[in-house]
Amino acid sequence: MSYFDAASSAPLHPVARQALLAALDEGWADPSRLYREGRRARLLLDAAREAAAEAVGCRPDELVFTSSGTQAVHAGIAGAVAGRRRVGRHLIVSAVEHSSVLHSAELFDVTEVPVGRTGAVSPQAYVDALRPDTALACLQSANHEVGTVQPVGEVAEVCREAGVPLLVDAAQSLGWGPVEEPWSLLTGSAHKWGGPSGVGLLAVRKGVRFSPQGPADERESGRAAGFENLPAIVAAAASLRAVRAEAAQEAGRLRELTERIRARVPQLVADVEVVGDPERRLPGIVTFSCLYVDGETLLHELDREGFSVSSGSSCTSSTLTPSHVLKAMGVLSEGNVRVSLPFGAVSEEVDRFLEVLPGAVARVREKLGAPTPAVVAGEDALVVDALGKRCPIPVIELAKVIGDVPVGGTVRVLSDDEAARLDIPAWCEMREQEYVGEEPADQGSAYVVRRVS
């Protein structure tokens, strides 16, 4: 089985396993106690904090460990906004942030900064979003779904000039290297770099106004309540140091493998859109979307072939709407596949993935090719009734009839599937047809497409 979903959770690094087992024997006591076992636990905790702080690029007393990366984000946002409550409760976030950031932002007055088609923000957009009552700005270091690296340094400078702290969600990139300065707060998650799950970190620079929320607790400077999971913390810090030592060599190797996938997939499979920035991207992530393919079915096909991948498609068991990242980028969401290679992934596994992918896509397309479009001829248009049908059926039915109208004629696709709002315009761009726009309909919406060629 080839595990290609490291962006969701990386396999436990061997160093993490060794450190975890050792710390279970040595670090079980309360590090706040003064007797021998407590002092030994405190030494382990301090050493882990120093190692993590060195990797992050901050002082040890600026970093605390939390129970998860999500908890670090929630605590960081809540504490930073509370610390600047006299300024206001306005937040700036990008439209492609991790859900933990977006859910936290819902509690405040929030401005979402749009992204371009590659998934990157413009620093000027953050300038335009700043207000006198802006308490905090948030920006991920790199996107978790498409791998695009964000211009954190430029945005951080913009925020510093305006006197607004910037919180950086560095979960996806921290294993590859430190984040561009001058950030104010930073969060990370150990299971993203090969550490154990259940450990996050939150760094708050000295001088940043911060007021921890929730009941007071003496642990972790009052910023993370509860008894520290010391063995997991030790393993998280040890694995972060280990992956950093391997990062430069692994980055070059994995980048070559993902570039192979980016180049070969469009050659092997027709009607594919590779998404994300082709240059400014994390080494191990490559994402593409396939027309006329149900994402969940394709993932099952690839799983049967021995590959574990993930999807941002709307057609997955966990959601009925397209990925907010793909939606914000304005790219095709149907048949979406994210390949995220773990440290140590080998060339032979990638080659075998490229061998089985065309057959898997073909089988899914064959299964979905059966529905017959309900077509009604109008005076100057065809109307395709795709109401009640989920992605990618509306796009498949559009593709079947576009050739039945003359050049300059239009096709109206009736659909009540949220994904159609994204996938039909994306199909038009890929097939060089004109997307006229969306119109209200008795049920759902009518998506109007004009035949250009």
Residue 4 binned pLDDT confidence (cut-offs 50, 70, 90): very high
- Catalytic, 391? Answer no
User: Please, how many CA atoms are within 13 Å of residue 164, restricted to the half-sphere of its CB?
Assistant: 30
249-277 average pLDDT score = 94
What confidence score (pLDDT) does residue 156 get? 97
Residues 6+ positions from 25 with CB-CB distance below 8 Å: none
- Run of H or E including 204: strand 200-204
φ/ψ of residue 246, rounded to 5 = -95, -5
pLDDT in tens, 391-409: 888 899 888 888 888 888 8
- Structural contact between residues 226 and 30, judged by C-beta atoms closer than 8 angstroms: no
Burial of 229 (0-12, 13-18, 19+ CB in 10 A): middle
pLDDT in tens, 276-304: 999 999 999 999 999 898 888 899 999 99
> Residue 229 is which amino acid?
N
Among the listed residues 58, 315, 391, 428, the single catalytic one is 315
Residues 6+ positions from 453 with CB-CB distance below 8 Å: 407, 432, 433
CA–CA distance, 184 with 165 (Å, rounded to integer): 5
What confidence score (pLDDT) does residue 379 get? 47
pTM above 0.85, yes or no: yes
**Of 134 and 223, which is predicted with more confidence?**
134
For residue 377, pLDDT over 60 is answered with no
115-120 average pLDDT score = 96
What confidence score (pLDDT) does residue 371 get? 38
- Is residue 131 classed as helix, strand or coil in its secondary structure? coil
- Rounded (to 5) percent helix, strand, coil in the chain: 40, 20, 40
305-325 average pLDDT score = 75
* pLDDT above 90 as % of the chain: 72
What confidence score (pLDDT) does residue 210 get? 93
- Structural contact between residues 73 and 169, judged by C-beta atoms closer than 8 angstroms: yes
Burial of 36 (0-12, 13-18, 19+ CB in 10 A): exposed
| Top-ranked range on mean pLDDT: pick from 150-159, 386-395, 422-431 | 150-159
For residue 123, pLDDT over 80 is answered with yes
For residue 359, pLDDT over 60 is answered with yes
Residue 317 binned pLDDT confidence (cut-offs 50, 70, 90): very low
- Structural contact between residues 140 and 97, judged by C-beta atoms closer than 8 angstroms: yes
